[in-house]
Structure 1
Amino acid sequence: MNDATPIRPNRNVELGASNEPFQNLHEFVRKARANLNQNAWDYIVGAAETETTMRRNRMALDEIAFRPRVLRDVSKVDPSVERFGRKLRLPVMMAPVGALEIFEPVAAAAAVTRAVGKFGAAHMLSSVSEPGLEKVAEAAPDALRIYQLYVRGDDAFVDDCVSRAVANGYTAFCLTVDTAHYSRRERDIAKRYVRESRLRATGGDYQKSLSWRTVKLIKDKYKIPLIIKGIATAEDTAIALDHGVDWIYVSNHGGRQLDHGRGAMHVLPEIVDAVKGRAKIMIDGGFCRGSDVVKAVALGADIVGIGRLQCWALAAAGESGVLRMLELLEDEVIRTLGLLGVTSFADLNKSYLHPSTATNAPSVFSAFPLVDIEPYRY
């Protein structure tokens, strides 16, 4: 295990115990709303068409209850894990989000990477987030960095991107495969709003024609671990395994691509059964609380991606906001594990879970009942 990742003592997160401006995760949401204009706000809280997939992400999480065990010594709970040969404080990754510069114009993605490097987590950098592959690597050379690519060019384009990621110390490489067609994001359409990055985007036909052939080209040439993001069925999982894919990334793009898809946590058991330990598994889609992370790992995920919460924290307070969000998330994870009667993720399995009924109406904010923001104002 590489112990280069800093493991710092958590700052006091007890209510009222410090001068920290953020004591609860929902406070990042409120501050982000105050800081963002309507276009930026709708970009992060919105999803495709009827936004059904986004709601199902939360519903799938809320339909899982815990089965706690008691009278166990949980005086010391360690939520750290080993992933990619490194020790992480949490099995958590900041998921790839395009156009992070909307939320932090100066440092953008570099601020997220620096924060996760200081904390001891991971960041998957989107190929459509500034300031780009090389500058993010320069900003946080010791962080666990993963590069995610939208294929917007030919074989030479892909080869160049993989080569640059390897040369700049990225730990793994990810292909996103659920964006063959760009979705109808009706919050933007209703306001006639098009992001500048979308206006500059080229090469969409390459994304439409992306196939397993490109996966084979990468695996045949490079040793860097390969992740496929956007897997949603056992059938595609089997094909990915046949191609030697190292990580299956269960994702529906936060509900921002195919409408009326299944919630990510509804998909996860199918993927775990198909993988049978032959690859590692990532997941994202509505994960906002420590209990969400615990549920995913109990069901078989190895890393949980944090998307919208990452953006809210970044918009609320930049790099320090992302770092503080991770500290609060860690506190929630530790308490959840301890109350379940386990002292580490290694002790956790699906026997601690039980199907149940969601008590909150699913929405982008249903993880935060204290948030009183109206998400649908134009």
Structure 2
Amino acid sequence: MAVSQTEGEYLTLHEYVRAAREKLDGNMWDYVVGGTATETTLLRNRLGLDKLALRPRVLRDMSSIDPSHHLLGRPARLPLLLAPVGGLESLRPGGGQMVARAAGEFGVPFMLSSVADSDMRAVADAASGTRIFQLYARGDADWVDEQVRRAMDCGYDAFCVTVDSAVYSRRERDIAKRFAKPWRAKGGLDTMRYQAAFNWNDVRRIRDRFDVPLILKGIGTAEDAALCVEEGVQVVYVSNHGGRQLDHGLGAIEVLPEVVEAVRGRATVVIDGGFSRGTDIVKALALGADMVGIGRAYCYGLAAAGAAGITGVLELLEAEITECLGLLGARTVKELNRSHVCRADPVYPARTHSAFPLMSPFVDEY
């Protein structure tokens, strides 16, 4: 059984987190790790994962373990994708292209955010694998349609619309420091009204006019998951924006079972929200997710060491996922099911970085 091993300066995931904390200024660090208002939803993301335990099966032939998977018919080395993150250029110059290059070379899909401060075509050209463009509506229907056309012309394989941001949240870490994110002003702050007005009619228009797989990101209920399927959406993306939009929401992993039940295999289910370790990813797959998005995790790698840092984080996650599958008695991710997880009391208090108990606690400080 071959398990990839990271070589070099960083040998554990928490070393990337610590290095990112040392290299980012306070404003950007708070942007990456923070949530909205009381940060309850952010902490519930982590708590929901920590309240799940794994149930291993033994005496199965584990001489060959394959952690690979697929998204929209395209192969992926791991059952994860690099979720869209705004402000990549502020984490490291050229960040968008670094993410695209690292994802393609490693073999996992990535999403480029429309507020990533990275050129759509330049990022697409840097990619060699599955690339997805994610949009915040900052214009009328004609403007949105033009973004879809541009993405398709640039070679993006799917189009995603984030739908949990009708109202922009109060992120008090930023407000308290008077930190104005430069990418928030992209297109003018008054254009937020278009995001507020975006609705199911817009989804239908995109579906009917464009031959491109459509993803809706920000689904948090069975009701909206069912509507996605009814409207022909190919990917239902469970997300609470990493705890950065609605405060006092459920953790993403807690919402996943009802979404999976509502979808009933008629669409692909992706989830993100607090996923930091290989065991986290395996838990989501066991509960029915087809793929897991990571955001903060790869941002730490990007901030610490650029494209090589992203690859390093992915290699460590690959090692953790493969190890977890082997010890659960699952040779592939398709062999995972709900019998592999159960409820349990969490061991650590919920914190942004409770997945890294060996790390110095200073990283959670303001």
How is 1:209-228 mapped onto 2 (pairs within 5 angstroms)?
Answer: 209-228=197-216
* Displacement after TM superposition at 1:130 (Å): 2.5
In structure 2, the partner of 1:26 is 14
Q: CA–CA distance in 1 between the matches of 2:193 and 2:185?
A: 15
After TM superposition, the runs of 4+ consecutive aligned structure 1 residues lying more than 4 A away are 375-378
8 Å contact kept, 1:30–1:373: no
In structure 2, the partner of 1:243 is 231
Structure 1 stretches lacking a partner, 5+ long: 1-8
Q: CA–CA distance in 1 between the matches of 2:285 and 2:120?
A: 29
* Displacement after TM superposition at 1:238 (Å): 1.5
Q: CA–CA distance in 1 between the matches of 2:252 and 2:297?
A: 16
What residue identity is the alignment partner of 1:169? G
In structure 1, the partner of 2:138 is 152
Counterpart among 281, 292, 295 of residue 304 in structure 1:
292
1:294 and 2:282 are equivalent in the alignment: yes
Q: CA–CA distance in 1 between the matches of 2:217 and 2:181?
A: 23
* Displacement after TM superposition at 1:169 (Å): 1.3
How is 1:1-378 mapped onto 2 (pairs within 5 angstroms)?
Answer: 11-13=4-6, 18=7, 20-105=8-93, 107-140=94-127, 142-202=128-188, 203-375=191-363, 377-378=365-366
Q: CA–CA distance in 2 between the matches of 1:112 and 1:146?
A: 12
CA RMSD of aligned residues (A): 1.2
* Displacement after TM superposition at 1:84 (Å): 2.0
What residue identity is the alignment partner of 1:166? M
More deviation in 196-205 or 311-320? 196-205
* Corresponding pairs, count: 363
8 Å contact kept, 2:109–2:131: yes
Q: CA–CA distance in 1 between the matches of 2:350 and 2:299?
A: 20
Q: CA–CA distance in 1 between the matches of 2:365 and 2:174?
A: 12
8 Å contact kept, 2:21–2:363: no
Cα distance change of structure 1 residues 10 and 66 upon mapping to structure 2, 3 Å threshold: closer
8 Å contact kept, 1:287–1:306: yes
8 Å contact kept, 1:108–1:130: no
* Displacement after TM superposition at 1:178 (Å): 0.6
8 Å contact kept, 2:5–2:316: no
Cα deviation code 1:169-225 (max 9, x no counterpart): 111110101111110000111111111122344211001111101100000111211
8 Å contact kept, 1:45–1:375: no
TM-score (norm 2): 0.97
Cα distance change of structure 1 residues 132 and 354 upon mapping to structure 2, 3 Å threshold: same
Aligned residues: percent identity?
52
